[in-house]
Amino acid sequence: MLSLYTVFRAGSMFLSIIEWAIVIYCVLSWFQPRFKAFYMLRQFIMPFVSPFQKLSMKVSRYFNAPIDFTCLFAILAFQILGRLWWRLYVLIAYGMR
């Protein structure tokens, strides 16, 4: 049987994998690669990144900047989610005692 810590550690690792995939995608997108792994990476991260596209467009228009902040907002959101994830673990694990 899985312990509570194991479940939360697996969730945390999943969030880290998503964050690193977004970072790798951003770096690779600067070079405009045309290989299949890049497109597979794009398909993996798009469900996690696309909710932040409208916010990015609003910020870009507000500051009149031709920069896409979508990935930055997604990374920040996943970092906050990771911290909240561990706070939930502490609440559940130590709040039961």
Domain ranges of the chain: 4-95
CA proximity to 89, closest of 19, 30, 14, 7: 7
For 38-69, what is each residue's pLDDT tens digit?
999 999 999 999 999 999 999 999 999 888 89
Question: Can you give the C-alpha Rg of the chain in angstroms?
Answer: 17
Question: Which single residue is written with the structure tokens 């479940």?
Answer: 7
For 63-86, what is each residue's pLDDT tens digit? 998 888 999 999 999 999 999 999
CB atoms within 10 A of CB 20: 11
Give the predicted TM-score (pTM) of the model. 0.87
Predicted local confidence at residue 32, as pLDDT: 82
